[in-house]
Amino acid sequence: MPNSILDAIKLGLWDFEPREMDQQQYRATRALPGTREKIDVLADRARQGLPLWHPSDCADFEQLAGFAQLEGFDLFGLDECESDFD
């Protein structure tokens, strides 16, 4: 039985599904889809035999901005009240 999708492909097992894991057993990422960072996370998960997708992975910029706001970090370098149009 292969441990990862990569091992399964090498063995010609095209219907391989990684073992189900509790989402607490591996970390979510805040890397945005399509970024080099996200691709690296997915590649690392594949090598480890982990599910590629975590339910709490960052899905878009709006979600990333929400994470930043929760941590008190301003992605744009502006206070909430500050604007270029004042």
Confidence at residue 79, expressed as pLDDT on a 0 to 100 scale: 45
Indicate whether 17 pLDDT > 80.
no
DSSP 29-41: --PPTTSHHHHHH
Q: Show me where the domains of the chain are located.
A: 27-72
**Do 19 and 49 contact (CB within 8 A), yes or no?**
yes
- Amino acid code (one letter) for 61: F
**Do 2 and 11 contact (CB within 8 A), yes or no?**
yes
Q: Is the pTM of this model over 0.75?
A: no
- pLDDT digits over 34-86, tens only? 999 999 999 999 888 888 889 989 888 777 777 666 666 665 554 443 333 33
